[in-house]
Amino acid sequence: MYSNDNQQQISALIMSTLLFAGCFAAWTLVSVIGVQIKEELQLSETQFGILVAAPILTGALARLPMGIMAERWGGRRLMLILVFVVSIPLYLLSVAETYWQYVIAGLGVGLVGSSFALGIHYVSSWASRDSQGLAMGIFGAGNLGAAITNLIAPLIIIAYGWRMAPTVYAFILITLALVFWLLTQDDPRRANTSKPLPMPTLKQQLTPLLDLRVWRFGLYYFFVFGGYVALALWLPDYYVEHYGLDLKSASFLTLLFTVPGALTRIIGGWCSDRIGARRVSWTVFWVCLVCLFFLSYPPTTMTVHGINREITFLLEMPVWLFTVLVMVMGIAMGFGKASVFRTVYDYYPDRMGVVGGAVGVLGAIGGFILPICFGLVADILGIRSSCFMLLYGLLAVCMFAMYYGMSVEDRRRRLQDAIRNNFLKHNPNVREG
């Protein structure tokens, strides 16, 4: 799978994945402690949406700058600096008192979400071309950090109160960062050269972003990753409010969405290497479309006017069926997160920092915008399942964009083939290839 020193490459992949899992756990911490804050401050659905989405905003906006810096200075040292910076707002989150103090501290914590842009550049630098999907899938499985938060944070809250959770997370993050630094080395392009690498200009780095294709990939990631993060943040409260579960049970059931959505990213990367990333993404969209169709349907009372009496039916999705559908969608999103980034590498192998950062920005912005939109549509429509209606509409846009993109590329390929065949027909002495 790897070239050069196998031990260093495996260490880089494993430690990057572990540190990213810790970062992702901290990035989604507010989704759990936010339920406690919501109860203490009596927040509306919209205020709660803003609170849990605040960390996602800064994590999203910081991804492109971090990707640019990773291409210039390498992701390894920047990961260490980032963790130490984020530990400060993590502590401040544990001592905040007012709503806006929580929001501001959450914005600071959110910087840790940009660790993805640093890690994806670092991991991609170690892996061979044929294994990029698998390597990035393994690293991306650090999304499991969301499941870790849903499992560990409630236990900390029960034992010591919610204010202890951010402090514990800060300590764990710093420990992981130090171990990461001790057990890894700079990527091969930096470690195996005696001369400083030439610094590309900012214009050279940003040129690929003029390609419309990059923003199409970003739209897909907006759904598969942004939707995944948004639901990871939203589901604990959804279970509590809609099904009347306690926080511990709600967090456990959310694990059935977040864990498969993280682990199947590895399989999705492997499948993308073997059968093609575009085919995987298209299948993912169809699976999610079916799941969202049923998840969008709100509890409905239907009355049938019979001959002698009226018969009333209550159509409501039981919690077990809801959980199964959400889990299936989480699995599909895990495949999709891997396939989108394998597609990015296929087109921009030397620009994973910038292009990967830009696609990551759009995905993370989805994780910021969607929870707020969930709260808004719930307040406006008064229908809790409206969050899935919103995702259904977003997915329809993604599928149209992908179909359009595939059609354009197929037409371009057929035109190129026709030009080449016509040239060979009129120049029979020229050998193809």
> Residue 390: pLDDT band by 50, 70, 90 thresholds?
very high
Is residue 44 within 8 A of residue 379, CB to CB? The reply is yes
3-state helix, strand, coil in the chain (%, to 5): 80, 5, 15
User: pLDDT tens digits for 394-424?
Assistant: 999 999 988 888 787 777 777 776 777 666 6
**Mean of pLDDT over the chain:** 83
Q: What is the pLDDT of residue 188?
A: 67
Q: What is the pLDDT of residue 2?
A: 41
Query: Tokens representing 190?
Result: 């930096």
Domain limits of the chain? 7-190+202-426
DSSP state of 261: H
User: pLDDT tens digits for 25-48?
Assistant: 998 888 788 888 888 888 887 788
User: pLDDT tens digits for 151-163?
Assistant: 788 888 888 888 9
Distance CA 384, CA 117 (A): 34
- Is residue 304 helix, strand or coil? strand
Q: Is the pLDDT of residue 3 over 60?
A: no
Is residue 265 within 8 A of residue 132, CB to CB? The reply is no
Is residue 208 within 8 A of residue 356, CB to CB? The reply is no
> Residue 193: pLDDT band by 50, 70, 90 thresholds?
low
Bigger pLDDT: 56 or 426?
56
Q: Is the pLDDT of residue 63 over 70?
A: yes
Look at the alpha carbons of 344, 143, 385, 314 in this order and tell me if their dihedral is positive or negative. positive
Contacts of range 39-43, beta carbons closer than 8 Å, 24 or more positions apart: 41/99, 43/99
Name the fold adopted by 7-190+202-426.
Answer: Growth Hormone; Chain: A; (1.20.1250)
User: pLDDT tens digits for 335-344?
Assistant: 998 899 888 8
Q: What is the pLDDT of residue 111?
A: 92
Q: Is the pLDDT of residue 191 over 60?
A: no
Is residue 71 within 8 A of residue 122, CB to CB? The reply is no
Q: Is the pLDDT of residue 244 over 90?
A: no
Beta bridge partners of 311: 304
